[in-house]
Chains A and B, each alone.
Chain A
Amino acid sequence: MQMFRRLFIAAASAGLLSGLFVTLIHQVTTVPVILEAEVFEKAAEAPVPAADAATPAASTEAAHDHDHAAEDHTHGGDEWEPQDGFERTAYTVLADLLTGVGFALLLIAVFAVSGRAVDWRQGVYWGLAGFAIFILAPGLGLPPEVPGTAAADLTARQVWWVATALLTAGGLALLFYVKEPKPLWIVVALALIVAPQAIGAPQPAEYSSAAPEALAHRFIVATMIAQLLFWAVLGALSGYFYKRFVHEPAA
């Protein structure tokens, strides 16, 4: 437990700080675009209840019993959602902090398993690998989307996302972690990275977006910049705190 405590303290320190950092970045980059896109999304949704007004009870029932994908599309409805403004921002901060600690735990667990000495500079490289695994590779098939964009079934996309991250991580590990990789291993590593992209991510039957394309484009750029900064900072801090609390705890 002593070891776990050290890993946890290092991850919590790195995760909370980088979570706080990315919260600030998100507030000025991605969140304003999301709010702007929601204006278009709400405008696009507005006529639907009016059309069903003749049978309000029946249409509500039908909306609830609809297939899974449609259910995931409903915004709010009867479900709880934070009030816009302070409450919504508070939950965004909390979610950013949890994401930071979650990814820091993963990163530091990998440091420990690798058995290598990691400092803040080494950490930046590990962080960039995390960016490639969790943002770049899944983002090639499923680019970040603003609210109100048509998409395939949520579960199918989540399965593809997780599989892509795992395969990319496996491929990168074979390429960079193995000391003297045989040529065959390099081929296998590249195949692992390319396979999910070749198979392709689940796509919607029909592409549509409530928000203008320029906004969707701006969102992808904003997300990529925010996440690149997040992973670089998370990697550096994870390396720094790992060295301080785990690798050289006495120092």
Chain B
Amino acid sequence: MTTTAQTRTATISATRSRTLIAASMAAFLGVFMIWGVGFSHIAAAHNAAHDVRHSNGFPCH
């Protein structure tokens, strides 16, 4: 493998891992938001999002 090819491979894998880290962060944030709206047992969160929980088919009381 030539030096240029090695550098290119390294660049691609660095970009790939940056993408994976960013995607994991985005997914984590998304799950956190959905959990808060749809699954939290905190009564205030349930009452505020009540109609959306029913409309989305999230398990509700």
User: What residues of chain A have their CB less than 8 Å away from a CB belonging to chain B?
Assistant: 1, 3-4, 6-8, 11, 26, 30-31, 34, 72-76, 79-82, 88, 91-92, 94-96, 98-99, 101-106, 108-110, 112-113, 115, 134-135, 138-139, 142-147, 151, 154-155, 157-158, 161-162, 219, 223, 226-227
Contact = CB atoms under 8 A, between A and B. Distances in A.
22 contacts: A3-B18, A4-B21, A7-B23, A7-B26, A8-B26, A30-B55, A88-B51, A91-B48, A95-B51, A95-B52, A99-B38, A102-B37, A104-B30, A105-B26, A106-B26, A110-B27, A112-B26, A113-B19, A113-B20, A139-B57, A143-B57, A151-B61
Interface string B17-35: 0111111111101111110
Given A34-B54, A99-B33, A99-B56, A80 B47 contact: yes
Query: What secondary structure prevails in chain B residues at the interface with A?
Result: helix
B8 to A, nearest CB: 16
A226 B59 contact: no
A147 B47 CA distance: 12
A37 to B, nearest CB: 9
Contacts of B44: 79-81
B51 A92 contact: yes
B57 A113 contact: no
A81 B59 contact: no
B52 A145 contact: no
A223 B58 CA distance: 11
